[in-house]
Structure 1
Amino acid sequence: MLNPQWLRTFAALAELGNFTRAAKRLDLTQAAVSQHVRHLEDALGLLVIRRPRAIELTPAGHALLDYCDAVKQARQRLDARVSSPAEEAGEIGLITPGGIGLALFPLMLEWQAQHPQSRIRHCFAPDPEVLDAVLTNRYDLGIVTFEPDDTRLTARRFLQEPLELVVPAGATVRAWSDLQALGFIDHPDGRAMAKRLLSRRFRKNAGIGDLPRNGFSNQIAHILEFVARGLGFTVIPRYARVAFAQQDKIEVMECGSPVLETSWIIHRAEWPLPERCARAVRYLEERMKG
């Protein structure tokens, strides 16, 4: 690799055409300028022909000057990317669980429409995949349903949403036996959510493992399809239920005091979150509160 200082010296010499002027601009001795050029010529061959009043670049010298220009431009692009946090242009990568993701996705589309220089990349995934995607820098932002303790991540509360017991329209649930008769529609977080919610209403019979499992889907949009067809009940966050198109075919059963699911927004802790991402997060928070 060519020493960056030697390249700066050569570029100044090529521009000014004189060792003395190049040394003065760079605050070096003339001997130091000559030494830098000699190091480059040891690596690349003859670069400069010394004339009494000026210098002349050889073909190799012209090639090196083009290289110096390319390095300078690359450094300018790098500086622009790392030192301009307010830059709006660029991608915003967001990975979320399905329920909250269904609510956020149309809002992210609104954000992109208002900020055409931003490009949204969104993925649905369960908590473990969200953590891995953010830790491996595949996504700028993630949302998880628990506060991670990994010191490589910054996490803060994003949203709280209640869990809901959702049954087919017209179904009656008064006792644990009614749930057994309906059967449980499971999903990746289904049993954990069901245990948390149902223990409030059915304190003596919250054994989720005793319920027949009538279906499973890892696609949040498909879970309520089972319920709408009368194939069972499920427990999901409210935003996932609200996003379902066939509200007339499902019902939410009262389960007493709310059981809240807390969402945490995460990003890498070792470097600042790009301002375009931070602004998008503030927008989402404001819209979700509204």
Structure 2
Amino acid sequence: MVNPQWLRSFAALAKRGNFTRAADSLLLTQSAVSQHVKQLEAEYGQLIIRHSRHVELTPAGHVLLRFYDEICGAEKRLNASLAARDDDQGEISVISPGSIGLSLYPLLLDLQQQCPDLTVRYRFAPDKEVLDAVLNNHFELGIVPLKPDHPSLNAEFFANEYLELIAPAGASVHTWPDLENLGFINHPDGNVMATRLLSRWFPANPGVSSLPENGFINQIGLILEPVARGMGFTVLPRFARMAFARQEAIQALELGPEVVNPLWLIYRAEWPLSRRAQRALSVLRTSCETPRATPA
């Protein structure tokens, strides 16, 4: 391994042009700088051409200088990655279901605008992928609807996710036939969510599969677009509805008791959260809907 002090002496000489300025910048003697360069030349061959008032790098010297610059760059990246003591720089990485992600991601972008040295990496993913990503250290923070039982994960209650029946603005919906007349806008979790909600509100209903399906879309941010155009109703978490831009074109109906899923924050149990992650969480928690009851 190359002696770091020798490399610093060589880089100072290469960048400042002569031994006097290099030695002054390092608070060393000219003799020390010269000795360090000689040690490197014994290992790598001639690195400089000595002129009366300056030095010139040989091809090997240019290669070694690039190597030194790469080391310095890698050290800066390492320090940035390990800057857990800083809450205003480094990467905030979060992985979650898309419904709550629609609400959380813009909040993290607001934080990044306040702290330009922060970067946000966010991924929408199904539950299994969220667990695997946090366990494999691909993301620092994850959010899942089921509390995991894994020794390497901490799980904390994060927020309640309320299911909502969302219809076009102005639509009159009170009975099961009203839903049949509207038709269902389906999505990857549509049948499961609609079954959970509608079985509570209409216990004697013939099932979601009996409803006419007026469309299917797998992009969470677009599910409410056909609803806003009057093409049908759907069932989604409240976070997804709140993130929709055209609130005036839709309505959330209350036809029965609330159906709630608790959401759990997960992160690795073996080490503490970085300060930047803690700062992000304080922003996200205060912006999420206050739960009516914290699950056990």
User: What residue is the counterpart of 2:84 in the other structure?
Assistant: 85
| 1:103 CA displacement | 1.4
Ranges in structure 2 where 5+ consecutive residues have no aligned partner: 8-27, 32-41, 45-60, 291-296
Kindly indicate whether residue 161 of structure 2 is the aligned counterpart of residue 197 of structure 1. Answer: no
Displacement of 1:78 = 8.7
Give me the identity figure in percent. Answer: 47
Of residues 195-204 and 211-220 in structure 1, the stretch that sits farther from structure 2 once superposed is 211-220
The corresponding residue for 1:220 is 220
Q: What do residues 154-204 of structure 1 show as CA deviations (whole Å, max 9, x unaligned)?
A: 221111132110112232222222222322212222222112211221011
Question: 1:287 and 1:244 mapped to 2: Cα distance?
Answer: 16
- Counterpart of 1:139? 139
Q: In the superposition, relative to structure 1, how do residues 90 and 83 fare at CA in structure 2: closer, same or farther (>3 Å)?
A: closer
Q: How does 1:1-290 map to 2 (within 5 A)?
A: 80=79, 84-87=83-86, 88-205=88-205, 207-289=207-289
Q: Which is further off, 233-242 or 247-256? A: 247-256
**In structure 2, what is the Cα distance between the partners aligned to 1:250 and 1:271?**
44
Q: CA deviation at 1:73?
A: 6.9
Offset of 1:288 from its aligned partner? Answer: 2.4
RMSD of aligned C-alpha atoms?
3.8
Matched residues, number: 254
- Report the CA distance shift for 1:92/1:138 in structure 2 as closer, same or farther (over 3 A): same
CA displacement at 1:225 relative to structure 2: 0.9
- 1:201-242 residue CA offsets vs partner (Å, 9 max, x unmatched): 101116222223222222122111111222221111112112
TM score, norm. by length of structure 2:
0.69
Q: CA contact under 8 A between 2:83 and 2:90: conserved in structure 1?
A: no
Structure 2: distance between partners of 1:144 and 1:172: 34
Superposed CA offset, 1:114-158 (max 9, x none): 222111122223323323332333322222222122333222111
Q: Of the two, which has the highest radius of gyration? A: 1
Instruction: State how far apart, in whole Å, the 1-side matches of 2:241 and 2:83 are.
Output: 40
How far apart, in 1, do the equivalents of 2:247 and 2:148 lie?
Answer: 34
Could you tell me whether the CA contact under 8 Å between 1:186 and 1:217 is conserved in 2? yes
SS at match of 2:223: helix
Q: Is the 8 A contact 2:96 2:130 kept in 1?
A: yes
Q: What letter corresponds to residue 136 of structure 1 in structure 2?
A: N
CA contact (8 A) 1:97 1:126 kept: yes
Q: Is the 8 Å Cα contact of residues 160 and 289 (structure 2) preserved in structure 1? A: no
Q: Which amino acid aligns with 1:169?
A: A
> Structure 2 counterpart of 1:221, which letter?
G
| Alpha-carbon offset, residue 285 of structure 1 | 0.7
Unaligned runs of 5+ in 1: 18-40, 46-61
Q: Deviations over 1:48-96 (max 9, x none)?
A: xxxxxxxxxxxxxx9xxx9xx99x9799769846865212321111222
